[in-house]
Amino acid sequence: MIRMMTSLCWIVSAFILAGCAAPAATPQASARDVAPAPSYRGPYSRPLSDVPPANEAASKARVHTELGMEYLGIGRTKVALDEARIALEASSAYAPAHHLLGLIYMELEQHGQADEAFRRAIAAAPGDPDFNNSYGWFLCGRGRFAEAMSHFATAQANPYYCCKARPRINAGLCLLKNNDPAGAETQFAKALEADPASGEALYQLAQAVYRRGNYRRAHDLLVQYHQRFDPAARSVWLGLRAARRLGEHHAETSYTEQLRGRFAGSPESALLMQGKYE
């Protein structure tokens, strides 16, 4: 059976890419103001996506919820919405279907409906890490940073969560969005501890360190990244900027050639052509 987590991780990856945009000029909360406590204190159980359906109605709802996740993951939002509605017709109390609705409405920017759907899912399973991770990202996008961090903390605290780095990465991105690179650096470092194989955590840590002005460490982290993972336009661009700050002309030239060749046509290549380094 297709795992809902597969689609969810794809969706959250897309959110992460979007989350790299420049933060608002005036932060609404500092790292000290962000609530560190989880929204739920346990006891924790496995994510509902891992739990077998309790009855035939829930089994039918699960099939359509998983299909909806797959369709949402490939951008077919309307079909995903139809699948979510069919799932809820089969079992109106099936929490993962409400979670799917929340993701769909978030994508459609129907914020009130998204909030309601996420709340229904979490009311049914307060400690579910998938639900809390998604709702945290929704709240972050609405500028509700303290609430967002509390839900990320709940997802982090669940010992059964398979994607242990994911809520920490999202928490870090939320802090970057709130113009708090120091707090973000802490979260990305914890994400890398939770999953040393996470290229996303390593890249985002380099980004946060760069934002804090530690260009040497950012450069070194990016060297590690490119030794372990295939270069991407964003990692090459960040490496170029760090090398430029440090006066490392050989490294800057190498990164420049990669952007102009391997990643020609990328937004990062366009920024290079325009000389917009920051």
The predicted pLDDT at position 241 comes to 98
The predicted pLDDT at position 189 comes to 97
Q: Which long-range contacts (CB under 8 A, 24 or more apart) does 133-137 make?
A: 133/12, 133/163, 133/166, 133/167, 133/170, 134/8, 134/12, 134/99, 134/102, 134/103, 134/106, 135/102, 136/167, 136/170, 136/171, 136/174, 137/12, 137/15, 137/106, 137/170, 137/174
Q: Say how far apart CA 60 and CA 41 lie, in whole Å.
A: 31
- Averaged in consecutive runs of 10 residues, what is the pLDDT profile of the chain (278 residues)? 43 39 38 65 89 92 97 97 97 97 98 98 96 98 96 95 95 96 96 97 98 98 97 98 97 97 96 95
- String of DSSP letters for 46-102: --GGGSPPSSHHHHHHHHHHHHHHHHHHTT-HHHHHHHHHHHHHH-TT-HHHHHHHH
The predicted pLDDT at position 23 comes to 33
The predicted pLDDT at position 41 comes to 87
Q: Residue 187 in contact with residue 176, Cβ under 8 Å?
A: no
The predicted pLDDT at position 76 comes to 97
> pTM of this prediction?
0.86
Amino acid found at 92: S
Q: Say how far apart CA 61 and CA 77 lie, in whole Å.
A: 18
Q: Residue 55 in contact with residue 71, Cβ under 8 Å?
A: no
C-alpha distance from residue 210 to each of 132, 182, 184, 201, 278 (Å): 29, 11, 11, 14, 11
